Structure 1
Amino acid sequence: MARERLRLAAVAAIFLIVGAAGGFWAHRPVDAGRTGPLSTVDIGFAQDMSVHHEQAVLLARTLPADAGPLIRGVAERIVLAQTAEIAQLRGWLQLFDLPLSTDQPMHRMGHEHTGHGAPMPGSASTSEITRLAGMHGTEAEVLFLQLMIRHHRGGVEMAQTAFNTGSAPAVTRTALEMVNEQGNEIGQMTALLTARQGQPLPFP
């Protein structure tokens, strides 16, 4: 029995490694020829979404070490996927010698958000992140899921705008992938939150 459990654990580990590698290469930077010229919306999307992703990575890394393996797995997948996407988004900007960030978030994408103490939709405030860092166990898991679900909903909104109004094929394709991927993760995290008797935070 112990040998069988060990075999199953090894198989699961292999699938996790293969899946992670697949996720990374799916988001590798696109060359300039395929990206094409960037519109104002494309530039804003690349600048704003990379910053938005940075906070998702921060939230995932702020999750306390005593969180359960299911939630830690969610956090680790977010770090891997969104770090790769940050490299892709900023790779486009570097290809065209454009600034990696802007002092007017969401301006190029046609609107601004100021809710939750942050300029982009779904972003967590400094006090929310600090509170997460001080929590433990199930309490930390619930807040992490609440913050990340809201954060993903904001990301989906931003990506949907880029898909609808962007022009470069690589940008609109990536935006659609983000809508699908983060939408799926919202469903998974909502189920985990419900299992812990938690409720999603209001959005926006």
Structure 2
Amino acid sequence: MRVDDEFDYLTQMLPHHQEAVTAARQLRRSERPQMRRLGESIVATQSAEIVKMKAWLDQWYSGRSTAVGYRPMMRDLSKLSGDALDEAFLRDMIPHHMGAIMMSQQLLMRGRAEHEQVAAFARTVRDDQHAEMFQMRQWLADWFGETGMPGGPGPVGDGRQGWCGW
């Protein structure tokens, strides 16, 4: 996941967000209220962000193709239920969120955002998904005894604020 410029960031983030929305909708079937709330939050937030990104692309990059070679990061959750659904979602969504955090950080650190709205959006994605990722890691530890992070090294709840394992 490499981000070269603002246009690249937005076009890559669209299918990334859509995948998260699709997966989060499956959490309506979770038996855990925390997971159902997380799913509702991801669907609401990222659906609104998809609309915003499409509007920016139309406004600032009209006529450019937004097609990208996106490779899905999450498995099909539609046939899972109970603990299997919750654990698979958490195991897949943590590295998925890490991808969005990394793309957002690349855009910001390289100063590639051409519009302040996109820079602010990238900061929000980075910070909000970082917080969600740590909550999901804690649930993996509490509910499934997971002591490492899917997609990266490091113990869950090790107290190092801001550490994501990449």
Matched, 1:192 2:157: no
1:8-52 CA-to-partner distances (Å, cap 9, x unmatched) read xxxxxxxxxxxxxxxxxxxxxxxxxxxxxxxx6111111110110
Which of 1, 4, 10 is 1:46 aligned to? 10
TM-superposed CA distance for 1:64, in Å, is 5.8
Which of 109, 127, 142 is 1:180 aligned to? 127
Query: Partners in 1 of 2:100 and 2:93 — Cα distance?
Result: 10
Shift in alpha-carbon separation, 1:54–1:100, aligned structure 2, 3 A: farther
1:66-105 residue pairs with structure 2 within 5 A?
A: 66-96=30-60, 97-99=62-64, 101-104=66-69
RMSD: 2.0
Query: Partners in 1 of 2:26 and 2:41 — Cα distance?
Result: 14
Q: Which runs of 5+ in 2 are unaligned?
A: 153-165
Shift in alpha-carbon separation, 1:89–1:100, aligned structure 2, 3 A: farther
Q: Which residue of the partner structure matches residue 201 of structure 1?
A: 150
- How many pairs were matched up? 145
TM-superposed CA distance for 1:100, in Å, is 6.1
How much identity, in percent, do the aligned residues show?
A: 27
Letter in 1 for 2:124: E
Query: Partners in 2 of 1:99 and 1:90 — Cα distance?
Result: 12
Q: Which runs of 5+ in 1 are unaligned?
A: 1-39, 106-117
Query: Partners in 1 of 2:17 and 2:117 — Cα distance?
Result: 18
Query: Partners in 2 of 1:64 and 1:79 — Cα distance?
Result: 11
Q: Which residue of the partner structure matches residue 171 of structure 1?
A: 118
Query: Partners in 2 of 1:59 and 1:65 — Cα distance?
Result: 11
1:118-153 CA-to-partner distances (Å, cap 9, x unmatched) read 27xxx22xxx21xx2212111211111111111101
The question of whether the paired residues in 2 share the 8 Å contact of 1:163 and 1:171 is answered with no
SS at match of 2:150: coil
The question of whether the paired residues in 2 share the 8 Å contact of 1:162 and 1:171 is answered with no
SS at match of 1:196: helix
TM-superposed CA distance for 1:188, in Å, is 1.0
